[in-house]
């Protein structure tokens, strides 16, 4: 229990320190969010918001998961795998949006991909 709390606090503090410069760097790199045409108008106000912040989230989570695994928490491995796979799907989507405008991975394709990876992972934890 204590290890879990320490891991959470450490990850939170690392994110608190790293996110502001990371978001500034994304802005400098012009990694602004492009909103897909199929989404409602309420999403349009997000246009220009830096995209790619999930990379830091995944990196911190993977680091924490690796530390937990090294400390003997074998249950962290499926969570690490799911985090990494979800992060790669998100990265692919973000890169696609930055290269081709609003045409990221369409939701009707992204959801089945996520399910294909999630079901075996969920079964491995039960």
Q: What is the pLDDT along the chain (126 residues), one digit of tens a residue?
A: 787 788 788 888 999 999 999 999 988 888 777 666 677 778 777 777 777 888 999 998 888 888 888 888 888 888 889 999 999 998 888 888 777 766 678 888 889 999 998 888 888 766
Name which of 80, 26, 25 is nearest 58 in CA terms: 80
Furthest CA-CA distance within the chain: 48
Q: Indicate the DSSP class of residue 49.
A: S
The answer to whether the predicted template modeling score (pTM) of the entire model surpasses 0.85 is: no
Stretch (H or E) spanning 5: helix 2-28
Question: How far is residue 75's CA from residue 98's CA, in Å, rounded to a whole number?
Answer: 35
Tokens for 102, please give them: 């609003």
């Amino acid at each position: 229990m204590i290890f879990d709390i320490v891991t959470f606090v450490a990850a939170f503090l690392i994110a608190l320190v790293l996110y502001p410069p990371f978001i500034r760097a994304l802005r400098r790199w012009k990694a602004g969010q492009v909103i897909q045409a199929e989404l409602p108008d309420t999403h349009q106000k997000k246009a220009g918001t830096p995209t790619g912040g999930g990379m830091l989230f995944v990196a911190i989570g993977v680091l924490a998961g690796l530390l937990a695994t090294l400390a003997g928490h074998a249950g962290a491995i499926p969570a690490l795998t799911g985090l990494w796979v979800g992060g790669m799907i998100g990265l692919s989507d973000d890169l696609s949006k930055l290269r081709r405008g609003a045409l990221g991975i369409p939701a009707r394709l992204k959801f089945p991909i996520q399910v294909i990876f999630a079901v075996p992972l969920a079964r491995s934890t039960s």
